[in-house]
Amino acid sequence: MALVFTPKPTPTVEIAGCDDLYPVNRIYCVGMNYYDHVVEFGSDPEEVDPVFFMKPADAIVANHEDVPYPPKTNDFHYEIELVIAMGKRAVNITAEEAEGHIYGYAVGNDLTRRDLQAAMKVLGMPWDTSKGFDKSATITAIHKASDIGHPKEGRIWLSVNGEVKQDSDIKMMIASPNQIVAKLSELYTLEPGDLIYTGTPAGIGPVVKGDLMEAGIDGVDTLVNKVV
Ligand code: MN
């Protein structure tokens, strides 16, 4: 039997320090995972559990690649996030076991059509159109945990046209990267190639065509993308 059309190539992400590429399987995302961001959204951090959602693997946009302003929004937002890159299958693992399943880390931007998300929240409906659209997941090269370790703290920041908009520390996460991997592994079979965007701190806001988004996490990398 033959395939009836040629499938698209598997989306990939560069790996720092070598010429190999990381093939992307799924993209998971965590919402409401920084204390200051939960407060910014008008919720009580003690009452909120991090929420999970997904983006398609082909939503990936490389570092320094332009991001097209998406259709059907007038409120296109940045969200700077630490990204976990899985290296081994994980099913029902504990937080203590998580690091043994993680390949590395990157800096990512969970781009969001905030107006569509707000409309779906009011209706209690899924967020898909606000989160899982084309070119909605920018990402730096992946840095192997064997090179940079497993980041537990460090400044996370994002600026637009040189003006700092988000400025926090990854230690302010409500669920740690290891706890996120453990929780997700109870819900899904995590596979090598799965990326996990771990949530954004306070300071979310809009960008328009022509804006330059620069962002970084100390000890990981710097992410630069222009909106066009
Ligand atoms: Mn996010």
DSSP 10-64: PPEEEBTTSS-EEE---EEEEES-BHHHHHHTT--TTT---EEEEE-GGGEEETT
pTM, rounded to two decimals: 0.97
pLDDT tens track of the chain, all 228 residues? 899 999 999 999 999 999 999 999 999 999 989 988 888 878 887 777 789 999 999 999 999 999 999 999 999 999 999 999 999 999 999 999 999 999 999 999 999 999 999 999 999 999 999 999 999 999 999 999 999 999 999 999 999 999 999 999 999 999 999 999 999 999 999 999 999 999 999 999 999 999 999 999 999 999 999 999
| Rounded distance between C-alpha atoms, residue 119 and residue 104, angstroms | 35
Q: What is the pLDDT of residue 136?
A: 98
In terms of CATH, what superfamily is 12-226?
Fumarylacetoacetase-like, C-terminal domain (3.90.850.10)
How distant, in Å, are the alpha carbons of 33, 76, 119, 142 from that of 116? 20, 10, 5, 30
Q: How many CB atoms lie within 10 A of CB 28?
A: 22
Q: Where are the domains of the chain?
A: 12-226
Q: What's the CA-to-centroid distance between 2 and ligand 1, angstroms?
A: 39
CA of 144 to the centre of ligand 1 (A): 22
Residue 101 is classified by DSSP as G
pLDDT at res. 54: 98
pLDDT score at 172: 95
Which residues, chain by chain, have CB under 5 Å from ion ligand 1?
A: 79, 110, 200
Contact criterion met (CB below 8 Å) for 113 and 133: yes
Alpha-carbon separation of residue 161 from 49, 110, 214 (angstroms) = 33, 18, 8
- What is the model's pLDDT at position 16? 98
Give the Å distance between the CA of 87 and the centre of ligand 1: 22
Distance 156 CA to ligand 1 centre (A): 13
